[in-house]
């Protein structure tokens, strides 16, 4: 099941950012997830997922050439979230370490900047591409260096 269809991409504005209410919802959810991973008593797998989704979306935007990795911390954020997920699957807390918090926060700030500037159509296309990339990863069709977490 995909979030957006090809029709969604065609109907999305090629010149304006996604509607403000959609941006606000995405960004609020993302920042709440990070806050929970940083300091909540028991962060949920959903907190981890929303942060991972934003990191994956920024990675797609970089791959597609729409943005650069301004902080240079995208690989570190991917690694930090993977380590937190692996720790959780091994029975440990779903937490980021100090360097992981810095990397994920920087990448989420980069994503927040991108979502405010890029067109709605670009974001829908990136979302579709990200879902396909993750689906391919789960089917064993990833690239060298890809990090795969099946479930947290």
User: Could you tell me which of 151, 136, 145 has the C-alpha nearest to residue 74?
Assistant: 145
Cα(70)–Cα(93) distance, integer angstroms: 30
Enter the tokens of residue 115. Answer: 């979502």
- How many other CB atoms are there within 10 angstroms of residue 94's CB atom? 19
Asked if residues 103 and 80 have their Cβ atoms less than 8 Å apart, the reply is yes
DSSP letter at 19?
Answer: P
Sorting pLDDT into bands at 50, 70 and 90, what band is 134?
confident
- Quick check: is 43 in a domain? yes
User: Could you tell me which of 1, 134, 107 has the C-alpha nearest to residue 51?
Assistant: 107
- Quick check: is 32 in a domain? yes
Sorting pLDDT into bands at 50, 70 and 90, what band is 148?
low
Instruction: Report pLDDT digits (tens) over 20-61.
Output: 999 999 999 999 999 999 999 999 999 999 999 999 999 999
Domain count, the chain: 1
Average pLDDT, the chain: 89
- Quick check: is 28 in a domain? yes
- Quick check: is 93 in a domain? yes
Residue given tokens 């391919």 in the structure block: 136
- Quick check: is 100 in a domain? yes
- Quick check: is 144 in a domain? no
4 pLDDT more than 80: no
- Quick check: is 147 in a domain? no
- Quick check: is 143 in a domain? no
Cα of 147 vs its chain's centroid, Å? 13
User: Could you tell me which of 129, 26, 45, 139 has the C-alpha nearest to residue 93?
Assistant: 45
**Containing structural domain, residue 46:** 6-138
145 pLDDT more than 80: no
| Radius of gyration over every alpha carbon of the chain, rounded to an integer in angstroms | 15
């Amino acid at each position: 099941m995909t979030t957006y269809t090809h029709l969604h991409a065609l109907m999305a504005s090629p010149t304006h950012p996604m509607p403000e209410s959609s941006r606000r919802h995405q960004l609020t959810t993302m920042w709440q997830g990070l806050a929970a991973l940083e300091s909540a008593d028991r962060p949920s797998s959903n907190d981890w997922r929303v942060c991972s989704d934003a990191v994956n979306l920024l990675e797609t935007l970089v791959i597609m050439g729409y943005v650069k990795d301004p902080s240079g911390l995208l690989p570190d954020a991917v690694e930090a979230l993977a380590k937190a997920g692996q720790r959780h699957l091994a029975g440990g807390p779903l937490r980021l370490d100090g360097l992981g918090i810095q990397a994920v926060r920087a990448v989420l700030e980069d994503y927040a900047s991108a979502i405010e500037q890029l067109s709605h159509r670009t974001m829908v296309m990136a979302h579709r591409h990200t879902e396909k990339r993750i689906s391919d990863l789960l089917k064993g069709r990833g690239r060298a260096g890809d990090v795969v977490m099946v479930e947290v």
